Structure 1
Amino acid sequence: MIALQTLRRLFLGSTVLLLQLPNLAQAETPIAALPVVKPAISCAALTRVDLQAIGGKGSQVVSASETTSNGVTACEVQGTLAPSIGFKVMLPTHTWTQRYLQVGCGGLCGRISLQVGAAEGCAPLNSGGFVLAATDMGHEGMDNSWGNDAQKRADFAHRGVHLTALAAKQLIGAYYGQQPAYAYFTGCSDGGREALIEAQRYPDDFNGIIAGAPALNFLVQNSIYHAWQARANQDGEGKAILVASRLPILHQAVLQQCDALDGQVDGLISDPRACRFDPATVQCKASATDTSDCLSAREVEAARSLYDGPRDPATGERLTIAGPQPGSELAWAGVFVPDSVDQPINSEKMALDVLRNLAFERNPGADYSLADVKFDRSTLDQLRALHPLYDATNPDLSAFADRGGKLILWHGWADQHISPLNTIAYHQAVQVQMGKSKAESFERLYLLPGVYHCGGGEGPSLLDLLTPMMSWVEKGQAPAAIVTLQASSKQAAASEFGAPTNLPGRAAADQKPSMMAPRSVAQDPANDGRTRLVLPYPDVAVYDGKGDVKSADSYVRSPNAVDEKTPQWLGSDFFTPYAPLQR
């Protein structure tokens, strides 16, 4: 547990410091004292609730029955919103404290998961104080032929999450005889995009929104970033150049050059933008006979291309904001760097799923391949037509802010799927659009060193943002520093996105791993349980030089000397206000 002298030593302006750790006394983070409300009708009676006013003809509750998990009994409701949006709502029978939490869905969804991330040790959640809900966003499974249906595209883009919120609130009103006092949304990856879609399109749905590693730049992220990451590491025969067994060479070279830039050698890079790493530093000499600890010229060039990302060949301008950041190398395995030269990679699948089915107004067909992708301005311009449908980059959050909504963004610096510079770019765009003072009144960004996509990695990745969000919404106490906890390899392997696995009312079917989940990486057991302060961007936490290096209590606030604008790229205008497409 963090010593309370941290509260006295770290004074962050006029904002009281919030420390969040599993088992940390919740009294230190005040939330509204809301009494438990019991059901007004039976669980089975919810099958008679009419949802057609929300979803249209055919919308209905399919089933409603009581279930018990982890000591919490809840009424589990499953239903459909026309034409085919599946949803699930878990309504506690004895423990509801008037809060609603909707959970986002990762990847291209197609399943219902009530797995809540970024809420490690959140007492009201673990004790069954929330009604929980989630949706499959209008389709089931991994068959992406649904992208031929304009309605299903809209359901995935924005309609599914919004209508689920409306349906869940109607069911809450029917079951308890009252609406929730507060409504929250949390999600990571595409769930983070969904979170921002809610803030941008439907500002009345939620009081507080937590968006982790958001796929907010959805079309460019999937159609260009992942396509490039797959292609850039292939030779003329389509075989991989760099394979997973070579990544530790690259990673160790990065740490050797950049680990100490933040004043501490701990295997973590506080801000990778300060790391000006050139893979050529580990290139084998021409005369080398032993290449076990160096990279060939072809491997070096492939690594450079992966870091840098694609550029328009005519002008040299960037087609994406950035590639993966230095320090993320071990996480590339299986995503865009295979275990062997002829194994499949996730980046190719993710890119082709979107390119063949979602990215263009007219789908190009099932035979479209990565070889057909032109990495130039024309391809990016083709994505502009549906940018206002799928993307969540609109920085105008006036309606959300004016009604008192609060937004927390978070991202791992070592994210291999989505460069954290996308989230920084959005944070900065909100400040430009809204004004810095206004933006700081309702929005925060946290960046986690050494953390992969939505969790896991070499850095402390377990955190609770839900409790600080409740304190902000319900008590007006803005979040400042948070504490992250190092997950052991066993913990990271046991849960998707590094999220906790002991949430009440979650069925076993909700615990299926996602292809987006980070691969488990062997960690130094000596780091198990270490804690670290993370401050709102752009500030960083630095070691005070005196205390236990593995304790958050030994870190203090420091301005970030690397704070800088994100690079200009050909889609920079995507992060300016636009009218959303409803279709």
Structure 2
Amino acid sequence: MHTRFQPPRAGQAGLVLLAALATLAGCGADDDAVQPAQLSPARPAAFSGTCDTMQARLAGLADTTITAAQDIAAGTLTVGGQPVPAHCRVTGRMLERTSAVDGNSYAIGFEMRLPLAWNGRFFHQGNGGIDGSVVPATGSSGGGPLTHALHQGFAVLSSDAGHAGALGPTFGIDPQARLDYGYQAAIKLTPMAKSLIGTAYGRGPDRSYFGGCSNGGRHVFNAFTRMPEQYDGYLAGAPGFNLPKAAVANIFGAQRYASVATNPADLSTGFTAAERATVAAAVLARCDALDGATDGLVQDVQACQAAFTLAADVPTCSGDRDGSCLSAAQKTAIAPIFSGAVTGSGAPVYTRFPFDAGIGAGGIAFWEFTAPVALDSGAVGFIFGVPPQDPATFNGPAWSLAADIGQLVTSINASSATYTESAMQFMTPPNPTKLAAVRDRGAKILVYHGVSDAIFSAKDSMAWMRGVAAEHADAAAFARLFLVPGMGHCSGGPATDQFDALGALVAWVEHGQAPTQLLASARGAGNPGGVNAEVPAGWAANRSRPLCPYPQVARYSGSGSLDAASSFACRP
């Protein structure tokens, strides 16, 4: 049950929440915290030997076939208009097998990029979606990055998580492929990658990092809960650590949109771009000034959720829908998507989604209207559900729009003799708020999440952070969450979405410099990392903002340019 209450004054919500976190921390189960170690900085080293001999030198790696080793010249890759230094690209596969269940061939495909001038660090890159592709091992974070791990001199690993993309979601019919995708591929790859690095440089990495966004962020959460001894820093963007629940919730949303769509074949006609822009404007009208500045950004996320309601703050159409209002039927259909998906009996499926100015952004449409029927249907049907669907008869759109949400929830929690772990076991991190093993060895966790993310709710990350604070009196000493107002899924939206979270994490892990903010900028015209078309016309092309550690809020200091981070400070 959700109780309505009077909207707090600007700043009050942050103070209340900060006090709540302090109270939770004070009664945490882990009050007798040890003093964590301060990890030493990584030491640079040069590549040992030549790249063209690496294939032969790596012949002894257990359960691994090296398929190629190739010199990549400086400038072949670029980031933010800057050349990526020369490196050796090694490709291979691990644990090749033929499935006894579906008859398909499987292996864990990977590539490692090894800088000739190495900074002594390893970056394990978690990839997005349902994996299945070995994307370039660069280690990016933040929208339109100006740098990334490879550019900074890390040895970087990328993998397909144990299955080929040509199979699509039907790889989930194979039980082992499910487990590899969920968490086991990363566990198997880690010692191999460190051994490979040892061959390349004559020693292993001094410091190891695991990073990724979306499903990659989910991989990060599994890494710090399942193998905390292996990594020193964890960088999770938009972490889908409850991905099976989020997928079911997205199907729930599709069914709600279908109920008010004027064209049953096009879910976006249930909530058009013009109507989403109207809701975004209403959110800004109610919430923009809560942080002290009317600037097109809702920094005080908590206060906004208390202040804004779809029913009262968005005009109700008195006649035909024309984009300037929502019909009563639309409000009835759409409100439960934000208040949190439920089963037919009212049991919660997934968390709430916050209202934010980014709801009008173009990228939202894919996640709201296409992904549920094109992606989530296959994921729930073949990868997460027990038993999986029959690919010979499966029709994703029809199946998802007709599915019983309660039955989908049952399926993602089910197991069998063939599928021995449910999706909620193999996909999600065990005990994600109990992090003494991470803390005690001096490791750090940095999470960022767009408030307008339409597939993985920022409120899920906020709840996780509160849970960490409840469990550990010293939570802020090793784990911090940074919300990105206006940003959609991993990047984009009317937001300052360009930032170097990896650099901040390295400074924290290796030099004890806890991040009190991340400096972020918009990607307007001329941005070297790529232009974000969602940057509002009234903003400076390089508008900057501090991203603040939750629950702090970037509040206007009362003077100075609204386009400059220096005019804002992180406060309760």
Verify same fold: TM over 0.5.
Answer: yes
Equivalent residue runs for 1:52-451 within 5 Å: 54=62, 56=63, 59-68=64-73, 69=76, 70=83, 72-83=85-96, 84-93=107-116, 95-113=117-135, 114-118=137-141, 125=149, 127-141=151-165, 143-222=168-247, 224-235=248-259, 240=267, 241-275=270-304, 276-280=307-311, 281-286=313-318, 288=319, 291-314=322-345, 316-331=346-361, 333-338=364-369, 345-366=370-391, 367=394, 369-376=399-406, 379-385=408-414, 386=422, 387-392=424-429, 394=431, 395-433=433-471, 435-437=472-474, 439-451=475-487
Describe the SS at the equivalent of 1:85: strand
Partner residue, 1:523: 536
Q: Summarize the Cα distance change of 1:311–1:35 in structure 2 as closer, same or farther, 3 Å threshold.
A: closer
- Tell me how far apart the structure 2 counterparts of residues 454 and 492 of structure 1 sit (CA, whole Å): 18
Alpha-carbon distance change, 455 to 393 in structure 1, aligned in 2, over 3 angstroms: farther
Contact 1:310 1:319 in 2 (8 A): yes
Q: Match for residue 480 of structure 1?
A: 516
Equivalent residue, structure 1, for 2:25: none
Amino acid in structure 2 at the alignment position of 1:396: K
The 8 Å contact of residues 51 and 81 in structure 1, kept in 2 or not, is answered as no
Larger mean CA deviation between 110-119 and 484-493 belongs to 484-493
Give the corresponding residue for 1:42. 50
**Aligned residues, how many?**
491
Corresponding residue of 1:456: 492
Q: Deviations over 1:509-548 (max 9, x none)?
A: xxxxxxxxxxx53622533211111221111120101112
Structure 1, 180-189 or 68-77: larger mean CA deviation: 68-77
* Partner Cα distance (1:149, 1:530) in 2: 48
Residues 285 and 350 of structure 1: is their aligned pair in 2 closer, same or farther, counting only changes over 3 Å? closer
* Divergent runs of 4+, >6 A: 30-33, 119-124
Distance, in Å, in 1 between the alignment partners of 2:430 and 2:153 is 32
Distance of aligned partners of 1:346 and 1:121 in 2 relative to their CA distance in 1, 3 Å threshold: closer
Greater shift after overlay, 186-195 or 462-471? 462-471
Separation in 2, partners of 1:285, 1:123: 47
CA distance in 1, matches of 2:141, 2:452: 17
- What amino acid is the match of 1:480? T
- The CA deviation string for residues 92-128 of structure 1, in whole angstroms up to 9 with x for no partner, is 12x1121111211011111122243336877784655
Distance 1:432 1:34 in 2: 32
Q: Is the 8 A contact 2:146 2:529 kept in 1?
A: no
Paired position in structure 2 for 1:533 = 546
Question: How far 1:324 moved relative to its partner?
Answer: 4.9
CA distance in 2, matches of 1:476, 1:420: 27
C-alpha displacement at 1:353, in angstroms?
1.6
What secondary structure does 2:322 align onto? coil
How far residue 490 of structure 1 moved from its aligned partner, in angstroms, is: 7.1
Instruction: State the 1:134 CA deviation.
Output: 0.7
Question: Post-superposition shift, 1:322?
Answer: 1.2
Q: What's 1:14 paired with?
A: none
Look up the SS of the partner of 2:133 in the other structure.
Answer: coil
Once residues 494 and 122 of structure 1 are traced to their aligned partners in structure 2, the CA distance between those partners, rounded to angstroms, is: 9
Render the CA deviation track for 1:235-268: whole Å, top value 9, x for unaligned. Answer: 3856532222321112112211221222211111
CA 1:124/1:301 → structure 2, altered by over 3 Å: closer, same or farther? closer
SS in 1 for 2:178: helix
CA change 1:123–1:294 in 2 (3 A) is: closer
Change (3 A) 1:181 1:417: same
More off after superposition, 44-53 vs 140-149: 44-53
How do residues 21-32 of structure 1 correspond to structure 2 at under 5 angstroms? none
Contact persistence 1:122–1:467 (CA under 8 A): no
What amino acid does structure 2 have at the position aligned with 1:61? I
Cα deviation digits, residues 119-178 of structure 1 (max 9, x gap): 687778465521111111112225221111111111111122222222221111011111
Contact 1:277 1:326 in 2 (8 A): no
CA distance in 2, matches of 1:195, 1:233: 32
* TM-score, L = length of structure 2: 0.79
Residue 581 (structure 1) aligns with = none
Asked whether the 8 Å contact 2:364–2:454 carries over to 1, the reply is: no
What are structure 1's unaligned runs of at least 5 residues? 1-29, 339-344, 499-519, 560-583
SS at match of 2:365: coil
User: Residues of 1 paired with 2:41 and 2:221: CA distance?
Assistant: 28
Which deviates more from structure 2 when the two are superposed, residues 123-132 or residues 449-458? 123-132
Cα distance in 1 for partners of 2:282, 2:191 equals 51
Q: How large is the RMSD of aligned CA atoms in angstroms?
A: 2.7
Whole-angstrom CA distance in 2 between matches of 1:271 and 1:115: 33
Query: Which amino acid counterpart does residue 310 of structure 2 have in structure 1?
Result: P
Partner-residue secondary structure (3-state), 2:140: coil
- Contact 1:407-1:444 at 8 Å conserved across structures: yes
> What runs of 5+ residues in structure 2 fail to find an aligned partner?
1-37, 77-82, 97-106, 415-421
Q: Contact 1:47/1:63 (CA < 8 Å) preserved in 2?
A: yes
What is the CA distance between 1:270 and its match in structure 2? 1.3
AA matched with 2:65: Q
Question: Do 1:195 and 1:211's aligned partners in 2 also have CA atoms closer than 8 Å?
Answer: yes
Distance across 2 between alignment mates of 1:462 and 1:441: 25
Q: Percent identity?
A: 26
Distance in structure 2 (CA, Å) of the matches to 1:289 and 1:358:
42
Helix, strand or coil: the match of 2:404?
Answer: coil
The residue that corresponds to 1:20 in the other structure is none
Offset at 1:337? Answer: 4.8
| 1:568 match | none
The letter of the residue matching 1:264 is: A
State the distance in 2 between where 1:34 and 1:122 align: 22
Q: Offset at 1:336? A: 5.0
